Chains A and B, each alone.
Chain A
Amino acid sequence: MAGNRVLVPLSDTVTVRQTVSYAVRSGLEDADSLEVHLVVALPHDTEVPEGDEQREEANQLLARARRWLAEDAGDADVTVESAVLGDDEYLFGPRDYADAFEEYADEHGVDLVVIDPEYKPGVTSSILQPLERELDAAGLSYDEAAVERPARHERLVGEGTERFDRYFALFWISFGFYLVLGDPTYWFDLVTGVAVAGIVSASLANVTFSFPLDRIESPIRTVRFAFYVPYLIWEIVKANVAISVVILRPSMPIAPTITRVNTRVRSGLPLLALANSITLTPGTLTVRANDQRLIVHTLIPSAREDLFDGSLERAVRFVFNGRESARIPSPRERGDAEIIGGDEL
């Protein structure tokens, strides 16, 4: 009988060890030989400065997983392959991961993906549910590893410095906001501000940031965001004028279309910023946001062209990922923009 071939995507979680043994156990249940493909998917291409470090971590994880496999397999017939995926492209959302896994699975004839329930590639938050949906869509069968995991709150509490950064950042954000509303020169407001900011950061720091803060990167992002706002306002003014002209013309030359744009921004705050910016600009309206796939209603052709040129997407990438990553092809050039019928909503 031909052996099973399973694909196990790894990430550094508390349950990764159990996932590996589950893959071996379940794989050997109905076959006498097993081929395990261990892969680590990197979220960003390794061209970025921290790329080497990520690559190194990925290789260490793979080496550890190989040892675990050898331990679990005993004398059963288990062969191991390992690979690092996504080091030459950006994997932004669950869909990209599913695509990468599918490509790998096709190449190596893998028929089952065993997923760690806590699977958390790179630095994004858990993507298990959307990933399963995308694997379904890609026609790849998967199995969620049966693992025992520690209670969730243990995971939420980050490491020492990271936790401190969260409290620190949230404290100053809330303190600053309090003083904007109050009077920064009045001692009473300063004292109550410290108290309020302390309570806010102590109680909410763990849920405020979905993304680990970086001591250098996060302030830079805030500064870049300050550059983004005037740009966005300028875009809004331009679009407002264009739409006003169309509405006030007696013939009202509108050409509404429904378009689908696959964006290349990370889920969470960047995607929110992009979708909101698209909606804020008159002429384009985000109707649906399924992960990175935005369904956008456009009112006039020029607004659609602007959307397909992806200037807002570049700007959002500039804010969150820096100038390097802003230089990507427009959605039109990538083939990520298309006009779809109204019935496909």
Chain B
Amino acid sequence: MIEAARFWAIVVLVVAGLFFTFVSAVGVIRLPDIYARAHTASQTDTLGAGLALAAVALALGWQQASVYTVLLLFFVFITNPTAAHAIARSAAETGIEPVTADSATDDGSPDSGTGAPDRNSSEPDAGSDVDGGETA
């Protein structure tokens, strides 16, 4: 009985983890710009990895290795936002302007996918005025 419950709990956790990882992948493809994509990329690390590691801990049972999975999760939770922030910050410093609600409504709907790659690679000269604007 307990074994069956554990088995199904593991299955549910893995499936939920997979679901959030899948959503995150869909989001990276659909969302318009680098900032929006950074949001959804953190979903993989938080719930995607979190649920999968919870499943691993449950599958391993009460032993040393399951303590490691908790530690692993702890470090993922520290490093993931740091990395996401580093990406967003360097994007801001390179002068990439985010697609905002105002700019998106100008051309009807938020442009999903197509306009995004140009947006991220364009405006190489915009970086020069970033430093000036930051101190203001």
B is a partner of A: yes
Give A residues with C-beta under 8 Å from B.
Answer: 133, 137, 180-181, 183, 233, 236-237, 240, 243-244, 247-248, 251-252, 254-258, 275-280, 282-290, 295, 297, 299, 341-345
**Does B135 have its Cβ within 8 Å of any Cβ on chain A?**
yes
A256 to chain B, nearest CB (A): 5
> Of all chain A residues, which has the CB nearest B91?
A287
Contact B43 A282 (CB under 8 A): yes
Contact A240 B43 (CB under 8 A): yes
> Of all chain A residues, which has the CB nearest B101?
A255
**Does B88 have its Cβ within 8 Å of any Cβ on chain A?**
yes
Tell me the complex Cα distance, A288–B88, Å.
8
Contact B88 A297 (CB under 8 A): yes
Q: Say whether, besides A240-B46, A280-B80, A342-B100, A248 and B88 are in contact (CB < 8 Å).
A: no
> Of all chain B residues, which has the CB nearest A245?
B23
Contact A283 B78 (CB under 8 A): no
Tell me the complex Cα distance, A187–B136, Å.
60
Interface residues on B, range: 35 or more
> Of all chain A residues, which has the CB nearest B73?
A233
**Does B64 have its Cβ within 8 Å of any Cβ on chain A?**
yes
What are 9 A-B pairs with beta-carbon distances under 8 A?
A252-B110, A254-B36, A256-B101, A256-B110, A257-B100, A287-B91, A287-B92, A341-B102, A342-B97
**Does B85 have its Cβ within 8 Å of any Cβ on chain A?**
yes
Residues of B within 8 A of A280 (CB): 42, 46, 77, 80-81
Q: Say whether, besides A180-B67, A180-B71, A256-B101, A279 and B112 are in contact (CB < 8 Å).
A: no
Q: Chain B's interface: helix, strand, loop or mixed, by majority?
A: helix
Tell me the complex Cα distance, A321–B98, Å.
35
Residues of B within 8 A of A237 (CB): 47
Tell me the complex Cα distance, A295–B134, Å.
11
B60 to chain A, nearest CB (A): 15
**Does B120 have its Cβ within 8 Å of any Cβ on chain A?**
no
Tell me the complex Cα distance, A251–B128, Å.
36
- Choice from B80, B88, B101, B112 contacting A287 with Cβ under 8 Å: B88
Contact A297 B98 (CB under 8 A): yes
Q: Which of B86-134 contact A (CB under 8 A)?
A: 88-89, 91-92, 97-104, 109-110, 112, 130, 133-134
- Choice from B30, B82, B135 contacting A252 with Cβ under 8 Å: B30
B66 to chain A, nearest CB (A): 12
Tell me the complex Cα distance, A282–B46, Å.
9
B107 to chain A, nearest CB (A): 14
- Choice from A181, A244, A257, A279 contacting B20 with Cβ under 8 Å: A244
**Does B14 have its Cβ within 8 Å of any Cβ on chain A?**
no
Contact A285 B100 (CB under 8 A): no
**Does B59 have its Cβ within 8 Å of any Cβ on chain A?**
no
Residues of B within 8 A of A257 (CB): 100-101
B26 to chain A, nearest CB (A): 6
Q: Say whether, besides A243-B43, A256-B35, A275 and B85 are in contact (CB < 8 Å).
A: yes
Residues of A within 8 A of B35 (CB): 256, 285, 287, 297
> Of all chain A residues, which has the CB nearest B110?
A254
Tell me the complex Cα distance, A289–B89, Å.
9
Residues of A within 8 A of B20 (CB): 240, 244
- What 1/0 mask marks residues of chain B from 12 to 48 whose CB sits below 8 Å from any chain A CB? 0000000110010011001111011011101100110
A129 to chain B, nearest CB (A): 13
Tell me the complex Cα distance, A282–B103, Å.
22
Contact A256 B71 (CB under 8 A): no
Q: Say whether, besides A257-B100, A257-B101, A286-B88, A276 and B78 are in contact (CB < 8 Å).
A: yes
- Choice from A244, A282, A345 contacting B97 with Cβ under 8 Å: A345
**Does B58 have its Cβ within 8 Å of any Cβ on chain A?**
no
Residues of A within 8 A of B43 (CB): 240, 243-244, 282
> Of all chain A residues, which has the CB nearest B98?
A342
Contact A345 B130 (CB under 8 A): yes
- Choice from A248, A254, A286, A342 contacting B103 with Cβ under 8 Å: A342
> Of all chain A residues, which has the CB nearest B105?
A255
Contact B134 A290 (CB under 8 A): yes
Residues of A within 8 A of B103 (CB): 342
